[in-house]
Amino acid sequence: MSWYKPSDVGYAVRVKLDDMGYSARLFLRLLSTFQPSLRRFRLVVDQIHFLGNYSLAIIVVSGLFVGFVLGLQGYYTLQRYGSSEALGLLVALSLVRELGPVVAALLFAGRAGTSLTAEIGLMKAGEQLSAMEMMAVDPVHRVLAPRFWGGVIAMPLLAAVFSAVGILGGWVVGVLMIGVDGGSFWSQMQGGVDVWKDVGNGVVKSIVFGFTVSFIALLQGYEAQATPEGVSSATTRTVVMASLSVLGLDFILTAMMFSI
């Protein structure tokens, strides 16, 4: 295949531009469903249950283990400088600022994003979406919107649970197992973690990631080719694209929050 033939390059660029325009339009349409979704909040609640509650187990367990590991590794590094009391600060800051939102979003993409893509892709393959359009029901409003807002609501809550459980995990390893002084563990943490700058920015990050992951999962499902291979490759693309976007956006968001 001669990809460098000018006509092919032009075609590829045109297809990409088309995709970008289409996805931007779908994103705006999903944003505009905010009010109608509030009126049919029952659908959103069902999606929060599906996306949030079922992801809770993996989030809690991974948060706990990430906290354990942070406690061990943080202690290993800090005790070289004789400041192992700062362990609480290290664990809390790394979780609240970075690891909580990012790792929770990656897990959310793997656990909930894939099931969204597969569900919608199969609906499309089974021509359920076309059938809805036949009945003058807009699938974007009825199928995509509740899932979108469900994901946007569930993500920050999951990230907060992740950070909180991780801090408890760091406390278990640092204070209970290694024997760092519990009082200074908490007081150093409270002295160094700012409510708005650290916790607030973490929550903002996780909300942005909620929009990103839910949107990418829905877009891939909605755009999947209506075949088994199409659905499976769309699911793969969801994980790859959502993870890359989360990591890239995280860098941009951190850079912005640092400069403010």
Partner 1 sequence: MERSKNDLWVGLFVLMGAAAILFLALQAANLLSLNFQSTYRIEAKFDNVGGLKPKAAVRSGGVVVGRVESISFDDTTFQARVKMAMETRYSFPKDSSMKILTSGLLGEQYIGIEAGAEEKVLGEGDRITATQSAMVLENMIGQFLYNKAAEGGSANQGGSDK
Name the minimum Å distance from CB 212 to partner 1.
19
Is 56 a binding residue for partner 1 by CB under 8 A? The answer is yes
Name the minimum Å distance from CB 58 to partner 1.
14
Question: Binding residue for partner 1 (CB under 8 A) from 30, 87, 96, 242?
Answer: 96
Size of residue set near partner 1 by CB under 8 A? 37
Is 207 a binding residue for partner 1 by CB under 8 A? The answer is no
Q: Decide if 89 contacts 192 (C-beta within 8 A).
A: yes
Question: Directed axis angle between helix 201-223 and helix 114-125, to 10°?
Answer: 20
φ and ψ at 194, to 5 degrees? Answer: -95, 140
149: Cβ–Cβ under 8 A, 6 or more apart, which residues? Answer: 33, 34, 37, 44, 47
Name the minimum Å distance from CB 28 to partner 1.
27
Q: What token pair was written down for 63?
A: 């948060």
Of the listed pieces 109-117, 197-205, 208-216, 234-242, which binds partner 1 according to CB under 8 A?
197-205
Is 199 a binding residue for partner 1 by CB under 8 A? The answer is yes
Q: CA torsion angle for 13, 19, 25, 26 (degrees, to 10)?
A: -170
Q: What token pair was written down for 176?
A: 């209970």
> What does the alpha-carbon distance between residue 189 and residue 81 come to, in Å, rounded to a whole number?
18
**Which of residues 148 and 222 has its CB atom nearest to partner 1 in the complex?**
148
Name the minimum Å distance from CB 17 to partner 1.
39
> What does the alpha-carbon distance between residue 116 and residue 220 come to, in Å, rounded to a whole number?
9
Of the listed pieces 25-33, 81-89, 119-127, 132-140, which binds partner 1 according to CB under 8 A?
81-89
Name the minimum Å distance from CB 120 to partner 1.
20
**Which of positions 135-194 make contact with partner 1 (CB under 8 A)?**
154, 156-158, 160-161, 163-165, 167, 186, 188-194
**Which of residues 83 and 128 has its CB atom nearest to partner 1 in the complex?**
83
Residue 116 CA from chain centroid, whole number:
13
Is 94 a binding residue for partner 1 by CB under 8 A? The answer is no
Of the listed pieces 46-54, 106-114, 220-228, 237-245, which binds partner 1 according to CB under 8 A?
46-54
Q: Which residue type does 98 have?
A: E
Q: Decide if 226 contacts 93 (C-beta within 8 A).
A: no
Q: Decide if 195 contacts 94 (C-beta within 8 A).
A: no
Q: Decide if 206 contacts 155 (C-beta within 8 A).
A: yes
Q: Which residues bind partner 1 (CB under 8 A)?
A: 42, 45-46, 48-49, 52-53, 56, 81-83, 85, 92, 96, 154, 156-158, 160-161, 163-165, 167, 186, 188-195, 198-199, 202-203
